[in-house]
Amino acid sequence: MTSAQIGDVRIEYVIDGPDDGDPMLLIMGMGAQLVAWPQDLVDLLVDRGFRVVRYDNRDQGLSSFTETPAPTRKDIARGLAARRLARADYTLADLAGDAAGLLAHLGIASAHVVGASMGGMIAQQLTIDRPELVRSLCSIMSNTGHRRYGRTSAKLLPALVRQIRANPPTTRDEAIAASVEAFRVIAGKDFDADEMRLIAQAHAERGTVTSVSRDRQLNAINASPDRTAALRSITVPTLVIHGLRDRLVLPSGGVATTRAIPGSRLLVFPEMGHDLPRGRRVEMADAIALNASRADSTASG
């Protein structure tokens, strides 16, 4: 693994696959590092001919962290209540700028872009702001930024509040166990605790995720505008993937994304929550590769 200096931000990244493979950029979500992408899904994409680039968003993992004062609970609450009240150190547009800067650092003129959760929001914003950099788009378990669609289920909120109010873990093992339970709350019916424990261990080895870093990224989401109108300008082949059991970002977020982007295709999995279930990864990889091939066919035409 290595890093790229993009303005004042250092971005850590890793590349899998052949040098001559079609470049594909994977963007992970809030509070998650590049190791949250299951390695077997990455391998499936490599097997389909892609050169896969993963990276840590700023304020995560081995990328640089913001040094300004941390957001307060009042700041978070205000942003959740109304976008106009949100105050953030950066927005989704800035995070999309990090992605664009990484592609430039790597000498990649354009790439297939895949984003999960907040990463889907960043991928959408990158496609809006820098369409020349994006050959195809895949938005997974994400939304358009419209407050009505893709909200968090009211039934999930008590569990999330309990996690927020819980005493911070004091040991590495406690932190790993807490992460596994946090994943369990938002995952679908095929939750794999053993795999999540390995991912949580990888997170801990690379740098413990803190509530401050998550809060900064949540503020970035809250301070960013609704993308619905801008998404209508997207012309690249687009695939939207969502789970019907997703309670963190309700499936209406995926439906709204599909409706906003002309010609986009929606793939739903009934047992999937806010996760990337092992049993669906081959189908996901096939669908992502097929969507990318639509871009190649368009270019050839």
What pLDDT digit, counting tens, does each position of 70-100 carry?
777 777 776 666 666 667 789 999 999 999 9
The C-alpha angle with vertex 33 and arms to 123 and 95, in degrees rounded to 5, equals 35
What was the pLDDT predicted at 213? 78
> What is the token pair recorded at 86?
């949100």
pLDDT score, position 301: 47
pLDDT of residue 165: 65
301: tokens are 């035409």
Asked if 52 and 45 count as a contact pair (C-beta separation under 8 A), the reply is yes
pLDDT in the model for residue 76: 72
CA distance linking residue 212 with residue 292, whole number of Å: 36
172-186 helix and 193-206 helix, angle to the nearest 10 degrees: 130
Cβ partners under 8 Å of residue 47, min gap 6: 285
Strand partners, 11: 4
Cβ atoms of 231 and 261 closer than 8 Å: yes
N residues, the chain: 301
What distance separates the 2 farthest-apart alpha carbons in the chain? 58
SS3 207: coil
Could you tell me the CATH superfamily of domain 2-150+210-300? Answer: Alpha/Beta hydrolase fold, catalytic domain (3.40.50.1820)
Which pTM does this prediction carry? 0.94
Residue ranges in the chain whose pLDDT is less than 70:
1, 78-86, 164-167, 208-210, 297-301
**In the chain, where are the structural domains located?**
2-150+210-300
Distance CA 112, CA 51 (A): 10
DSSP per-residue letters across 91-109: -HHHHHHHHHHHHHHTT-S
What digits encode the pLDDT tens for the residues 11-62? 999 999 999 999 999 999 998 999 999 999 999 999 999 999 999 999 999 9
